[in-house]
Amino acid sequence: MHEHTIVLEGDSRIPDFLTGELQAKLAYVDEGILKATVPADGSRVVLTLREAPDAERARALEVKVRRVLEAMVRGAVRPRQKVLEDHLDRPVPSSADPMPALMERGEVVPEEQGIAALGPLPVRLIEFFERHFVELAEGFGARPYRFPTLIAASLLDRVEYFRSFPHSLTFATHLREDLDVIEGFAKDAHCRDEALHIDPTALSGIRALLSPAVCFHYYGALAGSQLEEGVCATAVGNCFRYESSNMTSLERLWNFTMREIIFVGPKDFVLENRELARSRVSPLLDDWGLAYRVEGANDPFFVGDFKKQVAFQSAFQLKYEIRALIPHRQGTLAVGSYNFHQDFFGRNLGITLPDGNPAFTGCVAFGLERMAYVFLAQYGLDSAAWPEAVRRGAG
């Protein structure tokens, strides 16, 4: 391992509101980068590299890093940090990282970076939270759905996902229908350096990906239809986002699960229900004793589109996040989000209102692994210290 520091001068310095986002993006700059850190003052980028670079390689890396900085930093405007609810100072008993104990007890078993099996303790917590989320959805008359883990490439294309989030895609492929290819693969297949050794020409074209979210499936199901009135649906599903070296513990997984409550209809219908959901979720979080805050946020767009999209989302208050306290690192983590997409999906997929105009959409999404993780980070593994409601429901 080798450390390489890039010093930033003048207006290429990174403003504090971008350090987290930038650090996350730098992981995707080059396969040789194991970790990228930006100190709080934004004056440097410190790359931890797989191996020491020669002068030419160091220059090439620096050019790529500066390209990211150029795209994300120059002219970026500080987003209006709108805080809607603040319960971050709620006292919680634990300040320990729950991961070592969870792994030692076999409650979390890592399979690969970003892939983990969960045991009874986190599962009972997730089932407990889920019962309440399902009840919440029923309160909106939500129609229950089950969506596949795979999603059609054509659907993601129609909702312009490839342009906004190319870095986090996970492709599904299979061997081509060809006897020689299949026999050749069966004979030679083996893992080398933990990756499957395979001739890329043996693989099929890509018609499906692993789904990055739940609600796209519902918009896809409504494509080309005219709604008589606003509709609400709910589903839980596996979601996949390749987050490179940012994948750590249960905080950031490649494969995680989301419960979504989805609204499609007239603008006011979607916005009012998003607010109503927020007013019904907070009492639950309070009951569970969580320290959290609800604030304006943006989606993790890739470098090229980042500045424009973020400014847009922030100006129109399209996304709020429930950010729960992570005491052991004095930070917060999003456990859920309230999203408003305006008529974006309605337009792209031809979902219309009775007057023929495109429908509006919004969704409320909870990350289930993160719910369990933040609860355990705030309350520890021993249910004796848990709030009454959670002890009764999940202890």
Question: Which residues of this chain interact with Zn ion, rule CB under 5 A?
Answer: 215, 260, 363, 365
Nearer to Mg ion among residue 79 and residue 350 (C-beta): 79
C-beta of 264 vs 371, nearer to ligand ATP = 371
> C-alpha angle with apex 27: 22 to 33, nearest 5 degrees?
130
Q: What angle do CA 314, 316, 320 make, to 5 degrees?
A: 60
Cβ nearer to ligand ATP, comparing 336 with 387 = 336
Nearest to 87 by CA among 286, 262, 279, 227: 286
Smallest distance, ligand ATP to C-beta of residue 250, A: 7
Site string (319-338) toward Mg ion, x via CB under 5 A: ---------------x----
Binding site for ligand ATP (CB under 6 A): 241, 243, 252-253, 256, 258, 299-300, 334-337, 365, 367, 369-370
Which partner in ligand ATP, Mg ion, Zn ion, none is near 215 (CB below 5 to 8 A by kind)?
Zn ion
Q: What are phi and psi of 75, to 5 degrees?
A: 75, 5
Which token pair is 83? 């805080």
Residue 301 structure tokens: 């767009």
The listed partner (Mg ion, Zn ion, ligand ATP, none) that binds 362, CB under 5 to 8 Å by sort, is none
* Edge-to-edge order in the sheet of strand 171-172: 150-152, 208-210, 171-172
Minimum Å gap between C-beta 360 and ligand ATP is 18
CB of 213 to Zn ion, least distance (A): 5
Smallest distance, ligand ATP to C-beta of residue 337, A: 3
Three-class secondary structure of residue 261 per DSSP? strand
Question: Three-class SS of residue 262?
Answer: strand
**Nearer to ligand ATP among residue 68 and residue 261 (C-beta):** 261
Which lies closer to Zn ion via its Cβ, residue 220 or residue 387? 220
**What residues have CB less than 8 Å from 230, skipping those under 6 apart?**
263, 264, 265, 266, 269, 270, 273
Greatest CA separation found in the chain?
64
- Please say which residue, 256 or 360, places its beta carbon nearer to ligand ATP: 256
Residues that bind Mg ion (CB under 5 A): 334
